[in-house]
Amino acid sequence: MSNIRDIARISNTSLGTVSRVINKSGYVRDSTRERVEKAIQELGYEPNAGARQMRSGKTKLIGILLPALDVSFFGILAHTLEQRLFEKGYHSLICNTSENEEHEAKYISTLIAQNVEGIIAASVFDQTSNYSRILQRNIPIIAIDRALPELPNNAVTVDHMEGGRIMAKHLLDLGHTRIAVIGAPQHSPPIGLRVLGIKEVMAENGLAPTVIKLGDTHSFEACYDLAFDVLSVPNPPSAIIGTTDTAAIACIHAAFKLNFAVPQNLSVIGFDDLPETAFVIPQLTTVAQPIRELGRAAISQLLSLIDPKKPVSPKTYNLELKLIERDSTAAPS
Mind listing the pLDDT tens digit for each residue in 68-95?
Answer: 999 999 999 999 999 999 999 999 999 9
The stretch 55-78 carries a mean pLDDT of 89
**Which one is the CATH code of 57-158+291-320: 3.20.20.80, 3.40.50.2300, 2.40.10.350, 3.30.420.40?**
3.40.50.2300
Angle between helices 72-87 and 291-306 (to 10 degrees): 40
* Domain boundaries, given as residue ranges, for the chain: 4-47, 57-158+291-320, 160-289
* Cα 163 to Cα 320: distance, rounded to the nearest angstrom: 10
What is the CATH number that goes with domain 4-47?
1.10.260.40
The answer to whether residues 312 and 249 touch, using CB atoms and an 8 Å cutoff, is: no
Angle between helices 245-257 and 220-231 (to 10 degrees): 50
Same fold, 4-47 and 57-158+291-320: no
In this predicted structure, the answer to whether residue 163 has a pLDDT above a threshold of 60 is yes
In this predicted structure, the answer to whether residue 49 has a pLDDT above a threshold of 80 is no
Mind listing the pLDDT tens digit for each residue in 283-317?
Answer: 999 999 999 999 999 999 999 889 866 666 667 78
The stretch 43-51 carries a mean pLDDT of 65
What is the CATH number that goes with domain 160-289?
3.40.50.2300
